[in-house]
């Protein structure tokens, strides 16, 4: 088995963990100590893997760092790598997502707060604003979710660079077929129960928590909403509810198996103000039939009671395994498709994001 890397971004620093030949993950000493790391990416497209980290320097603001030696050293562009053009009169608040494009070798996308999309053509060193989305007529009416007005999800088509989609809290899901020059809202059949009666299926304004896609079936999308779990079979043209069999259809993350496009994972929370695991137990629910049925798995997880939330980017699935991190600083790994779990680390700061890759 190949070596694997796990990147854990927390409220106070970045932790890298490595596994050799399928062995346990060993966490290395903290990097960017006391600095929030809300986004990370492990870019394995080139001959040399590149790590990317969206960090928050506090008084000095957000930035993006990159490493070409698996985290031994880090570099930063000479000028702020992500900055809004002066004409927008807008200041960057956070880098929520770093997404290497699967169809363009040097392109990395960044989703930020306030909600905007940036494109890099030098593997994540410098970025420019995607003006087609910024100038969308809906943007002035977008309202922030509890975490802010954030573009938190970017989905690229695996072979067609003109096709991609994004999700904004709490504006909804948008897609483009012309490389970002124009965008359309794609929220059909997603219910917004917090809206007035008769207005619960708006064109936009849905509080989307996370969306995922499988590269072998790019038309198939899975979405975790503020209230609801959905599937689309036409890249967001329409959505169907698949969350009714779950004990709660409220949650933040959703992940798809790296080789089985019908296998997905969610971690239900008690809605809405509680936001703790259902029955105060960590149970990862897996569906192997694209959301028709669900089965809970908790072997190796604490028996309870537990009270910590798992955030939207704190669960990931890759060839290295399935992982999730909690707001009380625990990280768990499954190497048997979610059926059993082992502890990777505990007593970390609040986990914001996890990413894993085989190197």
Question: Which whole number is the average pLDDT over 77-104?
Answer: 97
* R_g over Cα of the chain: 19
Res. 214 pLDDT band, cuts 50 70 90: very high
Res. 300 pLDDT band, cuts 50 70 90: very high
Domain segments of the chain as ranges: 35-358
The chain-wide mean pLDDT, for the chain, equals 96
- Range 257-272 burial, b when 16+ CB lie within 10 A, else e: bbeebbbbbbbbbbee
Res. 346 pLDDT band, cuts 50 70 90: very high
Question: Which whole number is the average pLDDT over 142-153?
Answer: 94
Please answer whether residues 11 and 353 qualify as being in contact, where contact means their C-beta atoms are separated by less than 8 angstroms: no
pLDDT in tens, 321-336: 999 999 999 999 999 9
Res. 1 pLDDT band, cuts 50 70 90: low
Write out the H or E segment, with its range, that includes residue 45.
none
Alpha-carbon span 321 to 288, nearest angstrom: 16
Given this model, what pLDDT does residue 315 score? 98
> What CATH homologous superfamily does 35-358 map to?
YVTN repeat-like/Quinoprotein amine dehydrogenase (2.130.10.10)
**Listed range (191-200, 236-245, 301-310) with the worst mean pLDDT:** 191-200
Sheet containing strand 240-241, strands side by side: 208-214, 217-225, 228-232, 240-241
Given this model, what pLDDT does residue 184 score? 98
Res. 58 pLDDT band, cuts 50 70 90: confident
Question: Which whole number is the average pLDDT over 8-22?
Answer: 96
* pLDDT above 80 for 8: yes
Given this model, what pLDDT does residue 278 score? 97
């Amino acid at each position: 088995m190949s070596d694997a890397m796990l990147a854990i971004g927390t409220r106070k620093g970045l932790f890298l963990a490595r596994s050799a030949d399928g062995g346990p993950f060993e966490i290395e000493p903290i990097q960017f100590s006391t600095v929030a790391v809300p986004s990370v990416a492990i870019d394995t497209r080139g001959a040399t893997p590149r790590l990317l980290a969206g960090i928050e320097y506090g008084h000095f603001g957000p930035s993006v760092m990159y490493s070409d030696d698996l985290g031994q050293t880090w570099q930063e562009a000479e000028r702020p790598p992500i900055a809004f053009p002066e004409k927008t009169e807008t200041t960057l608040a956070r880098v929520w997502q770093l997404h290497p494009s699967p169809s363009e070798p040097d392109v990395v996308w960044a989703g930020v707060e306030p909600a905007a999309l940036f494109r890099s053509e030098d593997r994540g060193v410098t970025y420019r604003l995607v003006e087609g989305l910024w100038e969308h007529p809906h943007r002035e009416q977008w309202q922030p979710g509890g975490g802010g007005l954030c573009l938190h999800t970017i989905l690229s088509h695996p072979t067609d660079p003109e096709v991609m989609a994004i999700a904004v809290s709490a504006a909804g899901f948008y897609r483009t077929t012309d490389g970002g020059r124009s965008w359309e809202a794609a929220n059909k059949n997603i219910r917004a129960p917090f809206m007035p009666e008769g207005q619960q299926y708006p064109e936009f304004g849905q509080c989307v928590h996370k969306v995922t896609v499988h590269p072998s079936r790019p038309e198939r999308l899975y979405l975790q909403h503020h209230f609801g779990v959905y599937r689309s079979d036409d890249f967001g043209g329409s959505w169907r509810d698949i969350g009714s069999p779950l004990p709660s259809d409220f949650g933040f993350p959703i992940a798809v198996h790296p080789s089985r496009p019908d296998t997905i994972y969610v971690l239900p929370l008690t809605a809405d103000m509680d936001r703790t695991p259902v029955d105060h137990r960590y149970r990862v629910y897996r569906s192997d039939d694209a959301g028709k049925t669900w089965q809970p798995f908790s072997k190796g997880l604490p028996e309870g009671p537990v009270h910590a939330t798992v955030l939207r980017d704190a669960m990931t699935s890759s060839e290295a395994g399935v992982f999730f991190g909690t707001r009380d600083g625990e990280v768990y790994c499954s190497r048997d498709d979610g059926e059993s779990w082992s502890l990777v680390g505990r007593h970390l700061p609040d986990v914001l994001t996890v990413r894993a890759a085989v190197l």
